[in-house]
Structure 1
Amino acid sequence: MRSRFALGAVLAGAPLALALLGPLLAGAPGPRAASFAPGGGHPLGTDFVGRDVWHQVLLGGRSVVLVALAATALAYLIAFPLGVVSALTHRTWLEELLMRPLDVLLAVPSLLLILLVAAAFTPGAAALALLVALVNIPDAARIVRAAAAEAASRPAVEALRMQGETWWRTAVGYVGRSLTRTLAADAGVRLTGVLYLVATAAFLGIGVEPDAADWAVMVDRNRTGLLVQPWAVFVPALLIVALTTGANLLVDAVLEKRKPTWIPPTPA
């Protein structure tokens, strides 16, 4: 478990550090060079227009990583109250009002929805984060509702109601706390899907400029010269893969550490 946590911390920490600190360490871009090979002040060589690949890597993580993290957090911020309220309410009309529009949105392919919105107007980074969060809310809300419904059926919830506890204390204090393991397990997988959507949108030129310093845009720009300059493609792609893999390893290690132990019953 410790080795899994350490490996996950390294894999996820490197892309996060580059995304947060890279723009501060990048400095001014150096002169463009005609050679693709590493050397001459270019540790990873230059891309197809002579820009330093390492400089682009330092600048390109913030637009992908921060947008993905913001979209994931925003999706749970909206899905959590929707799922908990839907699970605890005794009013069928309220549950239908909350969940049925999400089912309609869930039927629309996420990438198709992003393309349709991008065709109507050009979204920025904030709009892209909001849009990616929107397409993840229905699935996240259904997971929250299913887990909350199971927790709400326990005798402890009925005991809290009989004691006159407030709805907030029952919903958040007990039911909400019981969802931590489920949401933690889902967060690692969801972050992978969100990163895929954000990177795909950037790959298609949605949310970023076509010549922006962005990891996904770097892959798109330099893929035709993969055999000539592989670092311009492999490094940003590996950083995205490392972040998703490391995040899932960290979640698995934390869940394994906090796994409840089963105590056999004492014989009568």
Structure 2
Amino acid sequence: MGRDVWRQVLHGGRPVVLTAIAATVLAYLVALPVGLVSALTRHRRLEDLLMRPLDVLLAVPSLLLILLAATVFEPGAVGLALLVAVANVPDAARLVRAAGAEAAARPAVEALRMQGETWWRIAVGYVGRSMLRTLAADAGTRLTGVLYLVATAAFLGVGVAPDAADWAVMVDRNRTGLFVQPWAVVVPAALIVALTTGTNLLFDAALDKGGRRTGKEARP
């Protein structure tokens, strides 16, 4: 048909990657302040007000939440990124709260409060910095899960056009001819697997390199 197949395949990864990155960033933009406020507050009611609705949302499977929302309105790429972000906020907020609560219980935080330091300085300057490695490790795992969720939603026809240049759409569109031309299914499916696995490996390598550098700097 005169189409550049290789270019089409490469273009198929762009919506998956961009939507997954946008969803992950949006999830952390909400989860970080919610988790930090919940970890540092001394008011139990405020913590319950922030975390209990997220616990309810956490009980709903992410894919089911996206499919239910898709029955109400037809999301595009932006809508899919928002839905995936909402599905990831509860778990990310709980992780931030757990990591932040551990740091907030240290004597250094009480000392900062007695010195009259601002909440922003305590939350971001000390508690936030103390859990950077935890957040970095979670970001790699979360981005991998988000990539899988975005690809699954696209395979089911949520957030993408039926004829879009998208790896998940390619798998769905060509699966009926799997035994006629298997590469039309195997290549985009393999690229999704390679992307998710490679992302996790890159984050692991970066964390390992950062840990070794920190260890060298800590030596006398």
Alpha-carbon contact 2:148-2:196 (below 8 Å) kept = no
1:219 maps to amino acid = V
Unmatched tracts of structure 1, length 5 or more: 1-31, 34-50, 263-268
For the aligned residue pairs, the C-alpha RMSD in angstroms reads 1.5
1:52, CA displacement in angstroms?
4.6
Please, which of 236, 245, 256 is the counterpart of residue 188 of structure 2? 236
Larger CA Rg, structure 1 vs 2: 1
Q: Residue 102 of structure 1 aligns with which residue?
A: 54
How many angstroms apart in 1 are the aligned matches of 2:37 and 2:56? 19
Alignment of 1:110-125 (within 5 A): 110-125=62-77
Alpha-carbon contact 1:53-1:232 (below 8 Å) kept = no
Q: Residue 54 of structure 1 aligns with which residue?
A: 6
* TM-score of the aligned structures, taking structure 2 as reference length: 0.92
Alpha-carbon contact 2:19-2:77 (below 8 Å) kept = yes
Q: Residue 194 of structure 1 aligns with which residue?
A: 146
Alpha-carbon contact 1:79-1:144 (below 8 Å) kept = yes
Alpha-carbon contact 2:28-2:89 (below 8 Å) kept = yes
* TM-score of the aligned structures, taking structure 1 as reference length: 0.76
How many angstroms apart in 2 are the aligned matches of 1:196 and 1:107? 19
Alpha-carbon contact 1:188-1:244 (below 8 Å) kept = no
Mapped pair 1:245 → 2:197: yes
How many angstroms apart in 1 are the aligned matches of 2:202 and 2:10? 24
2:131 maps to amino acid = L
The percentage of counterpart residues that share the same residue type is 78
1:258, CA displacement in angstroms?
2.6
How many angstroms apart in 1 are the aligned matches of 2:119 and 2:43? 14
Q: Residue 29 of structure 1 aligns with which residue?
A: none
Instruction: Give the number of the structure whose residues are more often helix, by fraction.
Output: 2
Secondary structure of the structure 2 residue equivalent to 1:240? helix
Which stretches of structure 1, 4 residues or more, deviate above 6 A after TM superposition?
A: none
67-76 or 153-162: bigger deviation: 153-162
Unmatched tracts of structure 2, length 5 or more: none
> Could you list the per-position Cα deviations for residues 55-87 of structure 1 after superposition, in whole angstroms to 9, with x for gaps in the alignment?
321321221110011001110111001000000
Alpha-carbon contact 1:68-1:191 (below 8 Å) kept = yes
Mapped pair 1:255 → 2:207: yes
1:238, CA displacement in angstroms?
2.0
How many angstroms apart in 2 are the aligned matches of 1:178 and 1:60? 38
